Amino acid sequence: TQLLEQSPQFLSIQEGENLTVYCNSSSVFSSLQWYRQEPGEGPVLLVTVVTGGEVKKLKRLTFQFGDARKDSSLHITAAQTGDTGLYLCAGLLSDSWGKLQFGAGTQVVVTP
């Protein structure tokens, strides 16, 4: 059983559309991170959120950390083909010595 549940598992949209990916848990995290992974490569860190209710923007990407620090969302505005990839959320439990718990990921495909 995964500690972090991501939804949807797969998302296919056209260029210019918006999308939202969700990451939910019953556990409280001291921080939560989002990574993007491309085929055959390691995950690359996009953002870290720490404070409940925090919203961070990275160009067309908006990340939100839930008030209770149990969930997070990633919203992409006007998606581009370069946004295609596997989006992973990962949470840090307060007593975990830096060990991240990953969700299963959401595969996003943006078509021209």
Partner 1 sequence: DTGVSQDPRHKITKRGQNVTFRCDPISEHNRLYWYRQTLGQGPEFLTYFQNEAQLEKSRLLSDRFSAERPKGSFSTLEIQRTEQGDSAMYLCASSFPRGRLSTGELFFGEGSRLTVL
| Cα separation, 81 vs 16, whole angstroms | 9
Q: How far is the CB of 73 from partner 1 (least distance, A)?
A: 17
Q: How far is the CB of 102 from partner 1 (least distance, A)?
A: 3
- Interaction mask 21-60, partner 1, x per CB under 8 A: ---------xx-x-x----xxxxxx--x-x----------
Cβ closest to partner 1, residue 79 vs residue 90? 90
CA-to-CA separations, 34 to 28, 38, 64, in angstroms, rounded: 16, 14, 10
Number of residues near partner 1 (by CB under 8 A): 27
DSSP state letter for 99? P
Decide if 65 contacts 53 (C-beta within 8 A): yes
